[in-house]
Structure formats: structure tokens, C-alpha cells
Amino acid sequence: MTFFEIKDLQKNFGGLVALRDLNMTVKETEIVGLIGPNGAGKTTLFNVITGVYRPRHGEILFKDRNIVGLRPDRICHLGIARTFQIVMPFHTLSVLDNTKVAALCRTKSQQKATQSAKEILRFLGLEEKVHIPAAHLTLAQKKRLEMARALATEPQLLLLDETLAGLNATETEGMIETVRKIRVERGVSILAVEHVMRAVMKISDRVVVLDQGQKIADGPPQEVVRDPEVIKAYLGDEYAHA
């Protein structure tokens, strides 16, 4: 069974080609880092995968099923969840309610949803904050909440969009550990857009590099980081042949 595969994906915005000839896979319980210079199309890719945008053409296979054209809420039910680059908590709701409403994706019972939500919040270290309004959390806590919310939908593939942006050193370490825990303890595959290279190196099984909408590298972190094409994309020609 194909767990997750993108085939020949292309996404246009008017005359601008945002994604082109994109082919990649994610295997079960794999952690794939997605990197590339700004404007490379990483968040656009997430939006296409989750059904927010429709691609010009191409297929996205998830558990043998083509999910192109499905509504975002359907895709969530099928087992793909995401976090957002700029955190989007439900600001009038409490931390618990934020997570609970996501848990209701899998159960109709409010009781079960609350239990499930509490368990996830404990897993993410937010159990002290359950009744606090989401708006009052720090950025790091909001990012954890965003993750909790995504996890509450019991996904098999989790798309993380720059979870480490804006975090200090301690918070970053904590988050890296958490991502690792998610794969190990919950068996979730992860596709993570990240700019913090250290983290990408540390945690990814494999790294995919995008530049101007195209994949220019795909392999283990140590190889990718030495790939001249990758260096050129980030730093320009001079450094590629240093």
C-alpha cells in the first residue's frame, strides 16, 4: 500500500508557477524534513496536500487513495493533520476546548473527547493550562496547543509548518523532543517544514529540498547538506563550488 506519495504535482497562481513537477513520498513512521529558501513553495505544498488549494495537475496518494479535490475536513478525517506557520488557536476557547473540538473528529461523545483531549495535553505538557483561554498562552505554549489540536484528530500523517520559529533555545529543544516522541509513541509520520537546520539534521530520517517550486534534493540529511545544488539555492553560486 502506498502510504503517502505525491506525483507530478503542479500548482499555479495565475501566471506564477508555485509548484512544478513535484514527486516525493513519505513512508510510515518516517520523519521527513522539508527545507528550502523562502518562497520555495513549502507552505503552498502543505495547502495543496490539505485541500486548501487545488493543484493544476498531479496526484496525491494517501493510503492508496487520491486525495486531490477533497475538502480539507474530509482529508482530516482520512488521517492527515497540520499545524500552521502562524499559530491559529481558537482564541475564545480554553486550551481544553481547543483540543476537545479536534478530538470530536473521532468521537461523538463529549465525554470521550474530553478524556482524549486531556490525555493529549498531558502528553504535550500542557495539563496545567487546560482551563486557560488559548489567547493567554505564550508562543511556545500556543505551538504546543496547535500540535495537541492536530494530534487530537488521530492522524497518521502530521504536517508541521515551522513549529520552531520564534522559540528560544530551551523551547526548541523541548519541541524537538516532543516531535520525536510523537513518532515513537504514537507512530505518526511527520512531514516538517523547518528553517532551523540543526533541528532538521537532528530529527529527520530524510530531507527534501524545494527551490522555486521544484524538488532539488531528496535524501539523508548528511548527503543533502553537502549537495551543491542545495548550497547554490541557499547561498548562491560561489559557495556551491567552494
Partner 1 sequence: MDRSILVPTRKSRTEMLSFIEATINGILMGGLYGFIAVSLSLIFGVAKIVNFAHGAFLMVAMFLVYWILVLLKIDPYVSAVLAAVFLFFFGYFFQNVFIEPILRREKETAPLTVILLTSGLMLVLENVALLLFGADYRMVKTSYTGKVWDIGGLLIVQPRLIGFILSLFLIFLTEIYLRKTNLGRAIRATSQDREAARLMGIDDYKVYKVVFGIGSTMLGFAASFLVPFYFIHPAIGELFVLKSFVIVVLGGLGSISGAFLAGIIVGLIESLGAQFINSAMVESLIFIIFIACLVVRPTGLLGKQRE
Partner 2 sequence: MARKPILPCVALLAAILFPIFVRDPYFLHAAIMTLLFGYLASSWNIIGGLAGQHSFGHSAFFGIGAYTSTLLLLYLNVPPLLGMIAGGLLAAAMSIGIGYPCFKLRGPYFALSTLAFTEIFRVVVTTTEEVGSINLKGAAGILIPLRKGNSFVAFQFVEKAYYYYIILGMLLLILLIYSLIEKSRWGLYLAAIRDNEEAARSIGINTTFYKMLALFISAFFGATAGTFYGQFLLYIEPILFSSALGIEILLIAIVGGAGTLMGPFIGSLILTPISELTRTYLGGTYAGVQLIIYGGVLVAVMMFAPQGIVPHVAKRYRALLKGGRRPR
Residue 50 binding result from partner 2, partner 1, none, given CB thresholds of 5 to 8 Å by partner type: partner 2
Find the helix or strand (DSSP H, E) in which 43 lies. Answer: helix 42-49
Produce one character per residue of 20-52: b if its CB has 16 or more CB atoms within 10 Å, e if not: bebebbbeeebbbbbbbeeebbbbbbbbbbbbe
Q: Residue 89 or 221: which CB sits closer to partner 2? A: 89
Query: Is residue 118 at the binding interface for partner 2, with CB under 8 A as the rule?
Result: no
- Integer Rg of the chain from CA: 18
Contact range with partner 2 by CB under 8 A, out of 25-33, 126-134, 185-193, 224-232? 126-134
Please give the order of strands across the beta sheet that includes 16-26.
16-26, 4-13, 57-62, 65-66
Of the candidate residues 17, 101, 225, 240, the single one contacting partner 2 (CB under 8 A): 101
Distance, C-alpha 77 to centroid of its chain: 16
12 binds partner 2 (CB under 8 A): no
Q: Using the rule CB under 8 A, is 76 a contact of partner 2?
A: yes
- The item of partner 2, partner 1, none sharing an interface with residue 67, based on CB under 5 to 8 Å by kind, is none
Of positions 6, 26, 45, 104, contacts partner 2 by CB under 8 A: 104
Residue 235 binds which entry of partner 1, partner 2, none, with Cβ cut-offs from 5 to 8 Å by kind? none
**Sign of torsion over alpha carbons 183, 186, 191, 194:** negative
**Rule CB under 8 A: which residues touch partner 1?**
13-14, 53
- Cα 188 from Cα 155, distance rounded (Å): 7
- Please report, as ranges, the residues that interact with partner 2 according to CB under 8 A: 50, 52, 71-73, 76-77, 81-82, 84, 88-94, 97, 100-102, 104-105, 108, 110, 113, 131-133, 149-150, 152-153
